[in-house]
Structure formats: C-alpha cells, structure tokens
Amino acid sequence: MLAEFGHFALLLIVATGLGQAVLCSPFWLRVPVHASLQGNPVLLTDAGTITTNGSTGGLPLNSRAHLIMPFGILAMAIIAQAALLHSFIISDFSLPIVAEVSHSSTPLLFRIGAAFTPDGGAMVLWLLMLSLVNVLLTLQLFGPAKSPYAQEDDGTLFKNAMSIMGLLIAVLGVATLIDADPFLRIPVAPLDGRGMNPQSQDILRVLREPFLYVGLAGLAVIHALTLSGLIFKKFDRRIAETLRFWTIASWLSLGAAIAINAYRSYSQQAWGNWWYWDTAENSLLLPWLLTTALLHCRAVLEKTETLKGWTAFLGLSALAVGWFGVYLTRSDLFGSLSETLNKPHDSVALLIGFCVVFAGSYYLFWRRGEELGEPRSFELVSRESSMFINSVMLALIAAVVLIGTIYPLVLRWFDGENITVGGPFYVEVLVPVVVPLLFLMGFAPTLRWRQDEMWLIGRRMKLAAILSVIIILFVSIRFIELSPAPLIGIGLAGWILTASLSDLWARLWRQPDHGESKYRNLQLLGPRYLSMTLAHIGLAIMLAGGAASSIWEEQVVVSARAGQSIQAGPYNLQYEGVALLAGENYATRQATFILYRHALPVTELFPEIRYYPIRGVETREAGIWHGRDGDLHVSVGDRADDGGRIVSVRFLPMMTWVWAGMIMMLIGGTFSILTRIVLRFQKNGVSTS
Amino acid sequence: MTKRLLMLVGALGIVLPLLASGPAMAVNPDEMLSNPALEKRARDISQELRCLVCQNQSIDDSDAELARDLRVLVRERLIAGDSNEEAIDYIVARYGDYVLLNPPLKPETYILWGSPVVLALLALLAVFAFYRRKQREASAGTTASLSREEQARLDEILGSSKGDGKA
C-alpha cells in the first residue's frame, strides 16, 4: 500500500514542480515575454507587481509561493523515496522493480542499496537530491542568512532560477513516470526476486550513487542560475558569488563518486586496474571535467567580471553532459560493466527531456551570450588568461572523451560496424592536451590578475623549474631504461608540487608592510588559496603515484600450495590455504595470506572468490595492503592444472599516493565549502547582533 | 537460520563442482610460456586486445573464458613464430576490428581520429579570435567610452598632475 503513496507523491512532485515553475516565474502568466525579450528590464515594484518598461501590468506576485513550493516538493520526494525503500526492505515482489534487482536473501543494507541501482530507483534518488538542493537554494537566496542581492531587482532573477529548478524537477519527474515507473505493480507477484547484481553488492558501490546524484543535482542549480542570468542578460559578480557554493559542492561530490568508483574497480579486479574508460566511468568523468573548468572560470567571473559567455556556456554544458551520461549508461545502446546483468531499458523520455531542455538552453545562449557585456578586459599574460586557456583545454578533453564514448554507437547505427574505443586511444589522443594543461596549472596560481610579465613569471618560477628539472634528471639517470611517457608524468607532478610549494613559501615569507602583525601573511593566504593549493598538490601526488606505480609495478602469478611463500617487492606473502565460508547471501572461498615485510609479519590478507547462487555469478574481492612504499594487491583464482591455487600478487609502488592524492583533492574542496559556510553564518551573526 | 543453512548447502553444491573445473582468471600459470621474452610479448599483445564479452577490458585483465581462449591463441601464434603484428592480424582476421582497443585508422574511423585534431584547431582559433576581439574592444573602448567633455576634463587632470610633478 505504501508504494501507492509513493506513486502518488511522484505525481505530486511533477505537479508541484510545475507549480513552482509557474508561480516563481515573473514571465509566464504575468508579463508578456516579448517585452523582456526585446530587452526591456523587468522589475518588481514595491507594490509587488511586475512592470516592464515603466508600465505596470499582470497579477500581483504572490511572494510567498517560492518559499513554500520547494518544501512541498522535498516532502513529496522524501515520501516517494521512503515508499520505495520500504518496498525493498520488506521485499515486496509485486513491484517488478524489486523483483528484478532484489531477493529475500539479500542483506538489509544491500536491499536498500539495490533500490538505487535500477533506472527507476536511480531517478527517484535523483529527484530526492534535486528537491534537496532546491530547498537549499531557496534558503540561500531567500532564507534567514539570505543573499543580500535577493531583495534588489535581482530578486526577480533569482526567482526565475527557482522557476527553472521547478521545471527541471517536473521534466525529470515525467521522465521517471514514463521511462521506468518504479511504483508499477503486477497482479501476480513472483515467489522471489531475481537478486541484486553481485557486482553492485558492495558498500562503496552503494555509496557512489548518492554522491553522483547530489553532484548532478548541484549541476541543475548551476544550470538554473546560469539560464536565469542569460534571460535577464545579467551574468555578473552576484551570480558568480551565488554559484560558488554549487560549483564546489558539485565538483566535490562528482569527484567523490569518481574516486569511489576507481577504488571499487581496483579492489574487484584481479589486476588492480582502476580505470577502464567504459561508458559508466566516462559518464562520471565528463561532468566532473566541465565542473572543474567551471570552477576556475567562475572565480574569474567573480573577481573581474570577464569571461561571461564562456562561463555561462560551461554552466549549461556541465548539466548537459551529466544528464546525457545518465542516459548513456541506461539506454540499451550501450551496456555498462556493472549493469550487464540488468535488462536495459530505453530511456526515451529522458532523452526527449534532454533534447528539449538543452535545445532551449543553447538557443538562449546563442541569442544572449554575446549581449552579456564585459566591462573589463585582460591581457594575454594574466591570471584570467591562464584559467581561461586551461578551462578550454579541459573542455577539449571532455569533448574528446564524449566523442570516444559515443562514436562506436553512432558507427554501429550507421554502418553496422563494431569498433572499440579503449584506453590506448584516449591515452594517445589526450596526452598532447594534458601535458600543456598540467604545465600551465603549475604556475597559473602565481600569475597576477589583469596583466603580468613573462620575465616576472620566469623569476618567480625559477626555483620550481630548477627543482623539477633535477627530479627529472635524477629519475632518468637512476632508471635509465625508462620510457618517456611516465617520465613526463613524474616531471609534471614534480613541477606542480614544487611550483605550488614555492608559491606558498613566497607568500608566507613576504616582507610584511609597516605596522602589520606577524600573522598577517598567514591571514592573507585565506581559505580559498589554501584549498586550491591543497587540491593542486593532491593532483600532483596522484599523478606521481599513478606514473610511478605503472613503471615499477611487480607482478607475480603462480600456482601456490599451502605454506608456499611468494616474493613481491619488499613484501613476502605466505599462502596459508583456502577455506569455504558462508556469507549472508553468498558462499565464498576465502584464502588466507600472511604478509611479511623484510621477514617481519605485517598483517593478514583475505582475498576471496564469492559465489552468489541466486544469480549464479562469481565475483572476486582482492586483498589489499596500503603500505608506506606502495600497495600490495593479491587475488586468487581457481585451481591450476597441477593442483595448486592460482595466486596473482602485485606490488604497486607509490600506489598509495594515488589514493592519498584523491583524498587531498576532496579535502581541499570540503575545506573550501566548510569555511565558506562558517564565514557566511559568522557574517550573518555579526550583522544581526 | 535453517533457511540460511539450506542456502549455504545449496550454494556449496553448486560451487564444489566448479572448484574442480577449469580456471577463470586473468593470465594464469597454466597459460604462461616458459620463454620469458615470448611471454612478455604475449602480455604486451594481450593489453592491446579487447575481451569481447566485457566492457573495454583487455584480455590481459579479463577473467572471462573467451579472453582466456584468446590469450592462449596469441601464445600459440607466438610459438609458431609470428611477429607481434602478425599475431594481432591473425586475431583481427577472425574477430574483426572490434577486438582492437585502439581503433585502427580506416575510412570509418577518420572522424574519430580526426575530430580531436579538428577540435583542437577550432579551440586554438576560438581562443585567438577571443584575444583579437578583446584587443579591438579595448582599443575601441577607451576612445568611445569618454565623451569630449570627459576627455577634456581628463586631459586637464592629467596635465595638472604633471605640472605638480614638475613643480
């Protein structure tokens, strides 16, 4: 019965979303759209009525509607999500969605997790996150700690953004109902479900979904604010300031989803690879790349009010690729690694919604992009330039990844010919773009705004340049047989690291002006600079780890017998044998290894082969040790012909750096957001007291 | 509890026969060649070939049975004296270009390989045009934004400050 409440709540989300779209909009219903399109300013008068070009017209604006609607939508979304989760928890197999991906033997945690894996469940989660950010946006714009601009004439602009949010929620709600309605019932329920996809039965895999959809929901807010700015031809510092929280939050959660995904692949695969360039991974990477570009351009917009058109384009495109990625992973045009067992659905409504929303958005961009007006300018050698050029390169990378992802599909459609676009293609094509991108990234933060001089940059970067050349020389002499690609990787990592640190050093030891306190330099750094530096250093560390582990990895595959010891790098693994154990809904062959480092025992590792009887699928869990000099990755296979156990041991030097680098980037983003929130409430507290 | 026990027994009943059957893991010792140079070449080739039933995984990474067959096939060709290219060609002749992770350059893939180059050139052009326009706007902007009176006033201020400097 609860499922029907959920179904009704889903319908109400669509209705309330449309209500928000209409009631928050200053156009539809109240003023002629043409008046605004002809460039006449639309203003909210004191009497609460809309005027265009001086003449009052339209209905009085119900100024409370935009405050109530989002909370209504959120309540509905919570009800829908709760109803769906309840159906999964009680294993209500009269809902086909439950029967398809769950089973009575699935543990509770994964029955909840399974609710997010099918198309309909993922859409409900996306709607929930959208309604959540919708409320947060309302609070940000009109709440107690409200943006100071909301009361000015920009109030109309921000209300229009809320209206677009309502529209997006309604469109996605309709797509949910048409494509994959999760609350449909069948008259005769099967006795039991088909079981969760064993590949997805993992705590990390379950955690990835909320992060992904919070990120995509944040991109929707960015889209709404950008579009609203385009409509009112006002894409300035105020919008940039409002966008700040959303760009960082989206960047952070998409990054977290990517990191989780990478670690999951790593711990699941026999060979410890963590990126395969498959459709699901690329559709995570695409919005993250564009959000990274947007993050930087937004900062330029806020600081100097330049790059308006390009920032607006990125703001629209980030959601576009995110949405398209969601479509790609669930259409039957492609399967994805983790969902090959699920019956794919064709999400036509999602695609049509995408086409309509973005045809409109880009049309508006095409009409208005030129008219935003930039009061100021900057020189070729300047901070603005470095961020602009780097964001163009990031967008270029995203475009190449997008083409590589959809090209096989298009070719098969036209030609019936099958080709594969895999890792080697991306590496060959992207390296020429990534190298200058990383090089520029090293010294971009040291550049001055507006205008800088080449010789000044040279002087500032002297130390970092010398240090990174020394690193490259050292590595190339020490390891003489090294191929150039990893060497370039390590060199660039050294360059970014030394450049960031030397800049930090220079700022800390700046000669304080007369009368300044000793801690003035520390205060001047500020949370923005610190989080940026942290993220940049994190990227450098990750790059160094990735390059080093690919060069120096050691890999042993043997047929082992109990008691046998296997050498890999500084580690020694002693194989103890395999035990048959029962998991909650699987049987597992768990191997036991004792890990020694220089003859001293470090830990025990338990790689497994799990067998899930419901789906008849085997999965593999590697045993991983994160040591200070690298990862030890061990996985077991079946019996070899000689009666031993196939054991694959990999020592990946500095692999720990990859994970540490990812975590540093995430900490950088989190720090930036937290300080922002704290500062905002502090400021608010001061102003009210 | 009894249900779980039953399930376990059932699961083991399926697993136990599997234990005796063939391996299903990426490169295992049974397949490996005793000649390390040849084995190294086989590994290199395997990383370029796609496992046909997986998503963008190379046969070197894949646990699938079909990937194992391909790995064995590659090794057989190398033992037969094929060069790396000949071994790859042998596989492609049987499975099509689909097995190559790096798509070959042919009329169907001209757009794929060409588009990054074209996009990069377009991006370069766009950035170039952007700076050209900025420059033009900047030079036009300074003359157009000041009216004649404003210009006169500016000259007056500049002139007076220069005078001050001299004095």
Contact residues, A window 476-505, toward B, CB-based 8 Å cutoff:
none
Residue A152 confidence (pLDDT) above 80: no
CB contact under 8 A, B101 and A278: no
Rounded distance, CA A605 to CA A128, Å? 39
Most confident option among A272-276, A591-595, B21-25: A591-595
- CA distances A370 to A366, A378, B145, Å, are 8, 18, 19
Confidence band for A376, pLDDT divided at 50, 70 and 90 = confident
User: What was the pLDDT predicted at A36?
Assistant: 47
Residue A511 sits at φ, ψ, to 5 deg, of -65, 115
User: What was the pLDDT predicted at B63?
Assistant: 75
DSSP state of A27: T
User: Where is pLDDT greater, at A565 or A683?
Assistant: A565
Rounded distance, CA B124 to CA A511, Å? 40
> By the 8 A CB rule, do A443 and A460 touch?
yes
User: Where is pLDDT greater, at A346 or A337?
Assistant: A346
Residue A52 confidence (pLDDT) above 80: no
User: Within an 8 Å CB–CB cutoff, is residue B6 touching chain A?
Assistant: no
Residue A15 confidence (pLDDT) above 50: yes
Which architecture, in CATH terms, is B2-104?
Orthogonal Bundle (1.10)
Query: Which of A293-297, A373-377, B35-39 shows the lowest mean pLDDT across its residues?
Result: A373-377
- Token pair of B72, please? 């064995």
User: Where is pLDDT greater, at A66 or A345?
Assistant: A66
Within A269-382, where are the H helices?
Answer: 279-304, 308-330, 348-368
How high does pLDDT run on average in chain B? 76
| A231 closest CA partner among A319, A177, A154 | A154
By three-state DSSP, how is residue A682 classified?
A: helix
User: What was the pLDDT predicted at B44?
Assistant: 85
A-chain CB neighbours of B39 within 8 Å are none
Which residue in A392, A423, A611 is closest to B123 by CB distance? A392
CB contact under 8 A, A337 and B57: yes
- Residue A42, H or E segment: strand A42-44
Average pLDDT over residues A174-200: 91
Confidence band for A580, pLDDT divided at 50, 70 and 90 = very high
CB contact under 8 A, A420 and B27: no
User: What was the pLDDT predicted at A665?
Assistant: 96
Average pLDDT over residues A43-68: 49
CB contact under 8 A, A425 and B101: yes
Residue A356 confidence (pLDDT) above 80: yes
Comparing alpha-carbon positions, the chain A residue that sits nearest to B15 is A611
User: Within an 8 Å CB–CB cutoff, is residue B39 touching chain A?
Assistant: no
User: What was the pLDDT predicted at A230?
Assistant: 92
Percent of chain A with pLDDT over 90: 54
User: What was the pLDDT predicted at A371?
Assistant: 81
- Taking residue A62's Cβ as centre, other Cβ atoms within 10 Å add up to 11
Average pLDDT over residues A333-354: 62
For residue A414, give how far its alpha carbon lies from the nearest alpha carbon of chain B (Å). Answer: 10
Comparing alpha-carbon positions, the chain B residue that sits nearest to A376 is B138
CB contact under 8 A, A417 and B108: yes
Rounded distance, CA A287 to CA A226, Å? 16
> By the 8 A CB rule, do A224 and A196 touch?
no
Contact residues, A window 276-305, toward B, CB-based 8 Å cutoff:
276-280
Rounded distance, CA A334 to CA A331, Å? 6
> By the 8 A CB rule, do A476 and A487 touch?
yes
Confidence band for B7, pLDDT divided at 50, 70 and 90 = low
DSSP of A66-118, one letter per residue?
Answer: HHHHHHHHHHHHHHHHHHHHHHHHTT-TTSHHHHHH--TTS-HHHHHHHTTSS
CB contact under 8 A, B123 and A395: yes
For residue B7, give how far its alpha carbon lies from the nearest alpha carbon of chain A (Å). Answer: 8
Query: Which of A276-290, A567-581, A629-643, B149-163 shows the lowest mean pLDDT across its residues?
Result: B149-163
CB contact under 8 A, B111 and A276: no
Q: Compute and round to an integer the Cα radius of gyration of chain A.
A: 27
Residue A74 confidence (pLDDT) above 80: yes
How buried is residue A64: exposed, middle or buried, by Cβ count under 10 Å (0-12/13-18/19+)?
Answer: exposed
Rounded distance, CA B69 to CA B24, Å? 11
Inter-chain Cβ pairs, chain A and chain B, closer than 8 A? 165
User: Within an 8 Å CB–CB cutoff, is residue B72 touching chain A?
Assistant: no
Most confident option among A193-207, A529-543, A557-571, B129-143: A529-543
DSSP state of B98: G
Best A342, A557, A581, A633 member to test B by mutation, with max B CBs in 10 Å, is A557
User: Where is pLDDT greater, at A91 or B5?
Assistant: A91
CB contact under 8 A, B29 and A559: yes
Residue A357 confidence (pLDDT) above 70: yes
CB contact under 8 A, A611 and B11: yes
| A110 closest CA partner among A200, A214, A209 | A200
User: What was the pLDDT predicted at A53?
Assistant: 43
> By the 8 A CB rule, do A433 and B120 touch?
yes
Residue B47 confidence (pLDDT) above 50: yes
CB contact under 8 A, B30 and A640: yes
Residue B22 confidence (pLDDT) above 50: no
Residue A636 confidence (pLDDT) above 80: yes
| A20 closest CA partner among A126, A121, A171, A147 | A171
Residue A20 confidence (pLDDT) above 60: yes
The DSSP bridge partners found for residue A621 are A608
By three-state DSSP, how is residue A557 classified?
A: strand
Calculate the dihedral angle through the C-alpha atoms of A131, A136, A141, A145, rounding to the nearest 10 degrees: 160
Confidence band for A5, pLDDT divided at 50, 70 and 90 = very high
CB contact under 8 A, B102 and A559: no
B-chain CB neighbours of A270 within 8 Å are 25-26, 61, 63
Which residue in B55, B103, B141 is closest to A425 by CB distance? B103
By three-state DSSP, how is residue A60 classified?
A: coil
Give the dihedral sign, CA A26/A31/A33/A38: negative
User: What was the pLDDT predicted at A18?
Assistant: 93
Kind of pairing between the strands at A645-653 and A554-560: antiparallel
Tokens 């940059």 correspond to what residue? A457
User: Within an 8 Å CB–CB cutoff, is residue A411 touching chain B?
Assistant: yes
User: Where is pLDDT greater, at A146 or A418?
Assistant: A418
Most confident option among A227-231, A663-667, B153-157: A663-667
Kind of pairing between the strands at A587-597 and A600-605: antiparallel
CB contact under 8 A, A611 and B28: no
User: Where is pLDDT greater, at A72 or B164?
Assistant: A72
For residue B61, give how far its alpha carbon lies from the nearest alpha carbon of chain A (Å). Answer: 6
CB contact under 8 A, B56 and A423: yes
B-chain CB neighbours of A279 within 8 Å are 55
User: What was the pLDDT predicted at A539?
Assistant: 96
Q: Which residues of A318-346 are buried (b: 16+ CB within 10 A; e: fewer)?
A: bbbbbbbbbbbbbbebbbbbbbebbebee
Best B33, B55, B95 member to test A by mutation, with max A CBs in 10 Å, is B55
User: Within an 8 Å CB–CB cutoff, is residue B103 touching chain A?
Assistant: yes
- Token pair of A342, please? 């699920």
Residue A56 confidence (pLDDT) above 80: no
Residue A245 confidence (pLDDT) above 90: yes
* Residue type at A515 in one-letter notation: G
By three-state DSSP, how is residue A574 classified?
A: strand
User: What was the pLDDT predicted at A345?
Assistant: 54
Q: Using one digit for the tens of pLDDT, what is the confidence trace for A443-460?
A: 898 888 888 888 888 888
How high does pLDDT run on average in chain A? 86
Q: What is the pTM of this model?
A: 0.88
Most confident option among A291-305, A410-424, A473-487: A291-305
Calculate the dihedral angle through the C-alpha atoms of A217, A221, A223, A228, rounding to the nearest 10 degrees: 160
User: What was the pLDDT predicted at B16?
Assistant: 44
CB-based contacts of A524, cutoff 8 Å, min separation 6: A507, A510
Q: Using one digit for the tens of pLDDT, what is the confidence trace for A488-509?
A: 899 999 999 999 999 999 888 8
User: What was the pLDDT predicted at A34?
Assistant: 42
A-chain CB neighbours of B130 within 8 Å are 388
Which residue in A105, A403, A419 is closest to B7 by CB distance? A105
How far is Cα of residue A133 from the mean position of the Cα atoms in its chain?
15
Percent of chain A with pLDDT over 70: 88
Best B18, B54, B63, B122 member to test A by mutation, with max A CBs in 10 Å, is B63
Confidence band for A342, pLDDT divided at 50, 70 and 90 = very low
User: Within an 8 Å CB–CB cutoff, is residue A191 touching chain B?
Assistant: no
User: Where is pLDDT greater, at A416 or A227?
Assistant: A227
* Residue type at A106 in one-letter notation: T
> By the 8 A CB rule, do A640 and B28 touch?
yes
CB contact under 8 A, B63 and A611: no
Comparing alpha-carbon positions, the chain B residue that sits nearest to A409 is B112
For residue B30, give how far its alpha carbon lies from the nearest alpha carbon of chain A (Å). Answer: 7
Confidence band for A320, pLDDT divided at 50, 70 and 90 = very high
Rounded distance, CA A74 to CA B26, Å? 47
User: Where is pLDDT greater, at B122 or A279?
Assistant: B122
- Residue A577, H or E segment: strand A571-582
DSSP state of B63: -
Residue A150 sits at φ, ψ, to 5 deg, of -60, -25
How far is Cα of residue A124 from the mean position of the Cα atoms in its chain?
19
DSSP of A152-193, one letter per residue?
Answer: STHHHHHHHHHHHHHHHHHHHHHHHHHH--TT---SS--SS-
Percent of chain B with pLDDT over 70: 72
Confidence band for A147, pLDDT divided at 50, 70 and 90 = low
Which residue in A271, A389, A395 is closest to B26 by CB distance? A271
A-chain CB neighbours of B50 within 8 Å are 420, 422
Residue A332 confidence (pLDDT) above 70: no
Average pLDDT over residues A182-198: 91
Which residue in B8, B23, B134 is closest to A638 by CB distance? B23
